[in-house]
Amino acid sequence: MSARKRWNREELLVVLNLYHKLRFGQFDQRQPVVIDLAERIGRTPSAVAMKLSNLASLDPALKLRGIGGLKGASNLDSDMWEEYHANPAELIPLGQERFDALFAANEHETTEVIPGKGIRTRKRPPEGETETSAVTKQRRGQDYFRDIVLNNYDNRCGITGLPVRELLIASHILPWRDHEAERLNVRNGICLNRLHDAAFDQGLIGFDDELRMMLSTRLKSYLPQESVVIHFEAYERNILHFPNDATAPEITFIKKHRTRFKIACSPDW
């Protein structure tokens, strides 16, 4: 493997896929997921880590936080960054397809990027022979969204701290079906366990503008049943938890969810 080999479009597409599944502090040559990807694309881990850091210099979100990344991004890096983010509906699913192809045995498997552990595959239920290209694109987008949201929350439920990845859901704040432009936006996602995801999706819980958990009137009507006290009332007013260097959910999305389901704070808040 030569560190001087020029990067091509296909390689940058999969590195961009990985870029959004990691936080800035995880762009390290010792990071297991970096090592795994480097092996599959015939690069050194240091070369992949450096490319991630080059891309970071183009990231406006990092610039707002005073993080400059590593200088040395090429013209192709810049062009790919602009193209990728100008057309996410097409290039994110394509990048996920290319990424999966490096690791998955067949189309019924997808990848999971787990910082600190590596890149794994998991099976998904087969869609059948009649699956359309639109369904395939949607599925790949959803696989991507799951990884970016779960990793943004360090693979822990933002309410309970539950760290079991198999029990975690990348919850959309604004529904997938109604908000095409925000479908793959990490700021439209919250990592929740399956129970609280279902409650959030049904409008039984929400969050205020300070990201404190709120209970709906409907849910409160079940109090003081013990299970509702344990699983919901115990977390009321707790602030949604995520790492300090994570991307916070968009407050305007949180407010729209709250308004949609008419969730209001208690008078004593």
Whether residues 175 and 264 share a domain: the answer is yes
Low pLDDT (below 50) residues in the chain: 1-3
Position 134 scores a pLDDT of 87
Nearest-CA neighbor of 143 among 105, 173, 182, 183? 183
DSSP-based three-state secondary structure for 268 = coil
Whether residues 195 and 257 share a domain: the answer is yes
Angle at which helix 45-56 crosses helix 9-19, to 10 degrees, equals 70
Position 219 scores a pLDDT of 97
Whether residues 72 and 164 share a domain: the answer is no
Residue that terminates a domain, selected from 152, 168, 197: 152
Position 133 scores a pLDDT of 85
Whether residues 101 and 45 share a domain: the answer is yes
Position 2 scores a pLDDT of 45
Residue that terminates a domain, selected from 105, 124, 152: 152
Enclosing domain of residue 267: 155-269
Helix H, strand E, coil C: the string for 193-256 is EHHHHHHHHCCCEEECCCCEEEECHHHHCCCCCHHHHHHCHHHCCCECCCCCCCCCCCHHHHHH
Residue that terminates a domain, selected from 126, 152, 178: 152
Nearest-CA neighbor of 166 among 179, 178, 157? 157
Whether residues 119 and 167 share a domain: the answer is no
Whether residues 182 and 261 share a domain: the answer is yes
DSSP-based three-state secondary structure for 123 = strand
Say what the pTM is: 0.93
Whether residues 148 and 161 share a domain: the answer is no
Whether residues 161 and 131 share a domain: the answer is no
CA-to-CA dists, residue 136 to 4, 20, 139, 141, 162, angstroms? 36, 21, 5, 9, 30
Q: Are strands 118-123 and 109-114 parallel, antiparallel or unpaired?
A: antiparallel
Position 216 scores a pLDDT of 97
Contact criterion met (CB below 8 Å) for 144 and 17: yes
Whether residues 80 and 60 share a domain: the answer is yes
